[in-house]
Structure 1
Amino acid sequence: MTVKIGMIGAGGIARHHLNTLSKIPLAQVVGVFDVNRESAERAAASVGARVADSADALLNRSDIDAVFICTPQFARDDLEAVAAGRGIHLFVEKPLGLELDSVRRKEKAIREAGVLHSVGYVLRYYDTVQQAKHYLQGRTVHLVQAYRFGTSHPAAWWRQQHQSGGHLADAVTHQVDLIRYLVGEYRDVSARFGRSAIGELYPDATIADAGAVSFTLESGAVGTITESCISPFNGESEIKLFGPDFYVQLSGNGKTVTIIDKERHVTITSKRDPSYEQDKAFVEAVASGSGDSILCGYADGMRTLAFALAAHRSAESGGAVPVEDEGPPVMA
């Protein structure tokens, strides 16, 4: 079975998915839509697809089996709910939105429609991350330390808090998600954000240039995440997981894992392309009708978003706030 796919969005992440999907034999991209017609035409030409006149026209169940929604988080409206309502399976890039109410409504619509759904938390698909997850089963993590440093997205909208949600919600969300995936749900969060330097580079920017976030997990473990989107000389990420009798470290966005205990001291670097594994898992799920290979669904992605939104509420209130427990139970 060939899975016919529509692509909404023609920016950098959409082009990345188009390139990846072109390597998957079961996938056939048949249509592309973007508000920038020129961008849509270039993206469509790269895979031999047609250009749709609107997102609504693209979401035609007789033309496509699945859709990749790769528009910025502020520009999605109810695309997910519309697609689900028409019986179209969907892949949605992270983060899922900018506030929980609309995301919660869309999650309900997707769940009730019974379509397959995947969210772009691509780092879960590293074999190194899977090894860490397997190793941690039955072990107690008591401390988490994480960080992500780098430079900002080139698009002007990304520097606007009301459009991107900031660096924590848009980029560091990958580290937030891996902590959830490996150690468990967040209970509460306390955060501080700074804007001491970004105005010099981008006078119109409203996002923070740095953040310091502390949290408690439902397990009782505690942890911190520090981040900066203005770090041109040090762009790296890491998650350190401490237990009473072990240590696990994920670096390079999860590409490399180190595991140390009394019996081992190993470091493994993945040769896997997680983007390929992620897109292949979704395409094969649509072809087979089973979502077992999908590692992050919509409700799961909603919980990761809830952490970033709670962190910003904490910064505004000056104290710790609970991370809302939204949606149905998420399978481990």
Structure 2
Amino acid sequence: MTTRVAFIGSGFAQQHIAALAHIPEVEIAAICSRNEQTARQIIGDQNINYYPFENYLQMLQQEKLDAVYICLPPHLHGEIDIACAEHVKALFIEKPIALSLELADQLSQTFKKANSIVSVGYMNRYRPNIINAKNHFSKNPAILFNAAWSGELPPPYWWRRREMSGGQLTEQATHLIDSIRYISGEFKEVQAFSTSGFIDDVKDFNVDDAIVMNFQLESGAIGTVQTSCFSKEHGGGELGIYLELASREKTYRFHNHCMDLELQHSQANKEIFNSIDNPVLAENMAFFDAIKNGSHEAILSPYDDAVESLKVSLAADISIREKRSVALASL
């Protein structure tokens, strides 16, 4: 049985479309995007209909879809998600899912009422290296974390506007926050600090130059997540992307966007596990298994779980504004 899908937004759509080429029962019917040039490049010579962004409702009504991928900047979530839930049974939503808990909770209730199947694009959960760590630390709890997403300023205009992206902790480093939650459980409390004013040559820039978020998990473990986007291109001078965590028995060090792993058993015994997996394909296969079976069971990042990851970065924003620590239970 063929499953007809469409895309709203072209952000990360190309990676999903490439993955869907490996799932025979999927038919990509349409893409709706603000950027026609990018959409046309993605479509190429494929038999995929293009709709201007303002015509998303027309696409939902005409294409007889089974699923929709929402690949939009964070500030565009809301009415589009609700409309999709009214017209299709399954949604794949790229992170972050919203810029406020009020909207995220509203959408959660909408999806429950519509009995929607929803998967959120936290692809690290499908990486064997991350699953390996989850299995280890479930038996030997992690004690200390150190993580960073530090690089150059991404080019999209919306990314540099706080009201559109939510800032780097919410938009990019949410992958690190979600990975920590997936491996070691829920955040209990955060305290965050930010700095700005060093980036003085970028028009309309109003997000933080850098953030440090200290935290404690419900397990008692502690750690820090850093973000920065101030680096100019100077030979890899930025700190990069990494996640390090240790129990009394082992240390796991993940590096780069693909989460390559150095696993340290002892001073003399280290193993290297380079990422050769395809987590985008894995999360898409899980999504279509869920559609086929009518159950969220195969999905490792359902919507309500993604809300919990969003809470962490929003708690950090409150901490920065109000100069205090914030308990997650207070949100």
- Assess same fold via TM > 0.5: yes
How far apart, in 2, do the equivalents of 1:325 and 1:286 lie? 35
Unaligned residue ranges in structure 2 (runs of 5+): none
2:308 aligned residue: 303
What residue identity is the alignment partner of 2:253? Answer: Q
How far apart, in 2, do the equivalents of 1:50 and 1:267 lie? 44
Greater shift in the superposed pair: 57-66 or 39-48: 39-48
How far apart, in 2, do the equivalents of 1:318 and 1:273 lie? 41
> What are the superposed Cα offsets for residues 154-185 of structure 1, whole Å, 9 maximum, x if unpaired?
11111001100111111111111100110111
How far apart, in 1, do the equivalents of 2:327 and 2:56 lie? 36
Q: Is the 8 A contact 1:190 1:215 kept in 2?
A: yes
TM-score by length of 2: 0.91
1:238 aligned residue: 242
1:269 aligns with 2:268: no
1:28 is displaced (CA, Å) by: 1.2
> What are the superposed Cα offsets for residues 224-249 of structure 1, whole Å, 9 maximum, x if unpaired?
01121123323621111122233222
1:284 aligns with 2:283: no
Spell out the pairing of 1:1-332 with structure 2 (5 A cutoff).
1-11=1-11, 13-52=12-51, 54-60=55-61, 63-200=64-201, 202-231=202-231, 232=233, 233=236, 234=238, 236-253=240-257, 255-261=259-265, 265-324=270-329
Greater shift in the superposed pair: 106-115 or 227-236: 227-236
Give the number of equivalent residue pairs. Answer: 324
1:20 is displaced (CA, Å) by: 2.3
1:40 is displaced (CA, Å) by: 3.7
Q: Is the 8 A contact 1:238 1:254 kept in 2?
A: no
Unaligned residue ranges in structure 1 (runs of 5+): 327-332
> What are the superposed Cα offsets for residues 110-159 of structure 1, whole Å, 9 maximum, x if unpaired?
12322211101111111111111111122222211111211222111110
* CA RMSD, Structure 1 to Structure 2 (Å): 2.1
What residue identity is the alignment partner of 1:158? Answer: W
TM-score by length of 1: 0.91
How far apart, in 2, do the equivalents of 1:197 and 1:46 lie? 45
Q: Is the 8 A contact 1:32 1:43 kept in 2?
A: no
1:15 is displaced (CA, Å) by: 2.3
1:329 aligned residue: none
> What are the superposed Cα offsets for residues 170-215 of structure 1, whole Å, 9 maximum, x if unpaired?
1111111100110111111111111132223x13200111111101
Greater shift in the superposed pair: 263-272 or 144-153: 263-272
What residue identity is the alignment partner of 2:263? Answer: I
